[in-house]
Amino acid sequence: MVALTYRSLPAKLFLSLLIVMNASVFAFSESQSDSNAPSVSAETLDDADRTTLLDNRHPLSMGMADKGPIADDTSLSKMILILKRSPDQVQSIR
């Protein structure tokens, strides 16, 4: 069996499949967001009743997967760095 990729399909067929898949996902999400649906939680949430999950990190994010330093000119094109402003910076903006 040959795996189908977007390069092996004609452009119009690929676009048609993409439109049909988008429409079906949209229809499914609309049917799932019924405003008359009952609440998932029947009781109020208690902050004192919490459970801490241990070791819930991906194995590659832990130290044992570290391969050491990389070259300075290495491109990290898929990395997204999210920085949080300090309270002083937020205050200076206001």
The pTM of this model reads 0.25
The pLDDT value recorded for residue 23 is: 74
- Can you tell me the mean pLDDT for 22-32? 65
**Cβ atoms of residues 6 and 14 within 8 Å:** yes
The pLDDT value recorded for residue 71 is: 92
Report the helix count and the strand count for the chain, using DSSP H and E.
Answer: 2, 0
Let me know if 14 is exposed, middle or buried by CB neighbors in 10 A (0-12, 13-18, 19+): middle
**Average pLDDT score over the chain:** 76
- Encode pLDDT of 40-58 as tens digits: 777 788 888 888 888 788 8
DSSP string over 7-62: TTS-HHHHHHHHHHHHHHHHHHHHHH--TTSPPS--S---TTS--PPPS-S-GGGS
Distance CA 41, CA 24 (A): 28
- Encode pLDDT of 59-81 as tens digits: 888 888 888 898 999 998 888 88
Distance CA 34, CA 71 (A): 52
